[in-house]
Each structure stands twice: as C-alpha cells, then as structure tokens.
Structure 1
C-alpha cells in the first residue's frame, strides 16, 4: 500500500509532519463518537511511519458517521489502510461486521487498539492487505469500504483502484475521507481518476482542515 516509498516520508507528506516520525514513543488518546469512548494507542517512530497517528481525516469521517447516523448494524465492512484502526473500531461498536486491513507491519498496533476497545463477541477481524497484490483473497460482497487519508501517494493509485474494483459489488458504498493535498495528486485522483471508474459524490467539505469526504459507488447500467 505505502510500498518502499515509506522510507522517504518528506516526499509523501507535508514537511511539517515529518518530525512526527523522528523519535520513537507511544501516545494514548481518547475520543468519543456515537456514544462510544475510544482509547487509541499510537506508536510513533520510523517503523510505522504514516500508519502511526490518528489523522484528522479519520476523525472527520467518524464525526460524519455520527452526524449522519449511518446504519452499520449487521453490515459487512472493510477498512483499507486502517493505521490505528479508529474508524473500523467505531463501526464494529456500531454493530458492523468489520475487517480492518493494512500492511503486515502495522497489524500489531491495530490489534492492540481493537482489543482495548471492542468487547469479545463483536465480529472484528484484522488482516494484512497489500493493494494490487492480494485483494483477491477477500470477498466481493462488502456493504461498505472505508478509507481515511489513504490517497496521498501517486504510485499506489492504480493498486488502490484495482482493490476497490475487486471489493465492490452493486450495493457497496465506499466512503473515502482525505486531506486534499494538491502536491501529491490527491485532488487529481478524486476529480479525474476515480470518476472514470466509479460514481463519486462529495458529501462533506471541511474547509478549515482542507478535508473532503466522498461517497463512491459503482456506475449503474
């Protein structure tokens, strides 16, 4: 998903966040959405890189689901690039059958946060998924595909599209929340690339944080 380009974070993310990964430390943060209190641990350091923090795009997406009262109960959901797992964990607590995915080295952080927040008995899985490589190991019948701040590296966009196309069926809704980084091709991806393959609708714009949330679905014949 992030591939070897993770090694040079200054080419991926704005320079003002590069210092996040220069030291190794752990931070616990508390959030509340939809009546659920979440304790999320973030393991900062070069090992996890961009997967370590809770990004604002994830918080915006959680807030959007809270405001819109989206019904996830009994729905099959997969999150791509889960990072800390905060969005998928919330959807599990809201009754969804959630699969959290990311690259293999990020899974221990996701598993720790899932164990700390999701009671036993909730249908929650944590799995490795490398876009464009092993998406065919996953079903094609998800009700929702979720992603927060996963569109920032041009080299991954074709792989992301392949993965989205595999995971989606006619009833699938994709929610993508993203910081709109023009310099990394994020705007082009949502305005020019994704609409060639999917129906794309902007459902929320946070001007202050420059974060957009899109609802994406298959074109209907």
Structure 2
C-alpha cells in the first residue's frame, strides 16, 4: 500500500452500512476485469490506514492480467499485502488456488470482499490468512507458482522483511508480479533497481508513464552450486 491519495472511481456508491463501530462505514467500488464485475468494499474509519483504499498499482496489475490474458487455472498463488483483496480475488476467478494475506487487522475487510465476489462453488480455492513479513512467513510453504503484490513497496524500513519473505516463498519456478508506483519519498526505485536484483531476475513488463506505475515480472536467482563443481 501507499501514502498518496486514493484512486477515485465513478462507480463508487454511497456508504452502504455501518460496521466495525458507530464511526465506520463501508463504501463499495465497482470494477470490470477479464469479463468479471467486481464489487470491492472498503472499510473507512476503522483505522485500516492505507489498506482501506484501492490503489492505482492494484488496478494496473489487474489490467495487465487482462491484457496478457493470464490464466491461473490450477496454479498455486499467494498475494502479499492484499488490502482489499482485489488482485487475489481476480486471480481466484481466473482459476487460481489463491492464498490472500495481510496483517490480522485487515482480514475482515478481505473476507467481506471474498464473500461478495467469489461464488460458493469456488470458495474452496481461496484462503485468507494473516502474514506479517519477516515474522511468520516461515509458516507458509515455498511451492507457489505465482506471488503477487501491488503497491506494497512504500516504506524503506519494511524492505528487508519483504525481501526475506519473497525469498522464502519463491522457488526457481515461481513467477512474481509486483506492481509499484514510484514516488521520490518511498525509495521504491532503489528497492526495484538495487535490492531486488541481488536475489531475483527482474524485468519491467508493463508501465504507465502518466503515474509512474511499473509492473515487474521476477524469478528467483538460482544460488545452488553448479553441477560438477566441488569444494
């Protein structure tokens, strides 16, 4: 997530209902991707911070999946720092066996969106679990086909934990898609251009120059000893 202004949509509806507390309300935004109509609830006033918004980078990643006709059918997928769950929900609708993750306080919002958008017959293919980078990432396996993240590169003090988590979750066959909006104050450029290349092969596969959003496709660098070499 990020600290800039949230993305506004003409499809925003009036507040739907009170929730969490008397000072909270849920606002619903409508999106169209890959032939699916998504209704994304955002809980405002519940101290969810940046997780209460749908950010431009998340929209960009969903549009990339649509443009490239990427299918997740039968593939094991995990989304990091999901916020509203929009990216992971789309991956599940596109056939993936998806685990959507974020901090424990955000999961109620994600579960609301899962209930709204995922048909009951498909619900078994989607899990919502707490994951704090650098702390409980080892509770998750390292056999994912895809790792997804949008606008999760926004605070330099979280970068070591994020890289540690990515390194644990990924194997050499894992494809990682990260969509990031570059801002001068968040050190995003150095993360993608200097820190990540130490451990991952990184390639820009899509970009929007209007708002400096880049979609990266990444694979883990094989650090195992070469065959036939002995110490």
TM-score (norm 2): 0.85
Deviation for aligned residue 1:26: 2.2
Gapped regions of structure 1 (runs ≥ 5): 3-11, 18-22
The SS at the match of 1:73 is coil
Q: Which structure carries more helix by proportion?
A: 1
Deviation for aligned residue 1:27: 1.1
Larger Rg belongs to = 2
Deviation for aligned residue 1:52: 0.6
Give the aligned partner of residue 140 of structure 1: 142
Q: Deviations over 1:104-129 (max 9, x none)?
A: 00000000000100011321000000
Gapped regions of structure 2 (runs ≥ 5): 7-22, 224-231
Going from structure 1 to structure 2, the CA distance change for 1:46 and 1:188 (only over 3 Å counts) comes to: farther
Give the aligned partner of residue 119 of structure 1: 119
Aligned match for 1:192, one of 194, 210, 215? 194
Where do residues 155-170 of structure 1 align in structure 2 (5 Å cutoff)?
Answer: 155-170=157-172
- Tell whether the 8 Å contact from 1:179 to 1:209 is kept in structure 2 after alignment: yes
TM-score (norm 1): 0.89
User: CA separation in 1, counterparts of 2:37 and 2:109?
Assistant: 18
Deviation for aligned residue 1:25: 3.6
- Tell whether the 8 Å contact from 1:182 to 1:188 is kept in structure 2 after alignment: no
User: CA separation in 2, counterparts of 1:26 and 1:125?
Assistant: 22
Give the aligned partner of residue 208 of structure 1: 210
How many residues align structurally?
205
Question: 4+ residue stretches of structure 1 with deviation over 3 A?
Answer: none
User: CA separation in 2, counterparts of 1:54 and 1:66?
Assistant: 17
Deviation for aligned residue 1:182: 2.1
Where do residues 55-204 of structure 1 align in structure 2 (5 Å cutoff)?
Answer: 55-122=55-122, 123-204=125-206
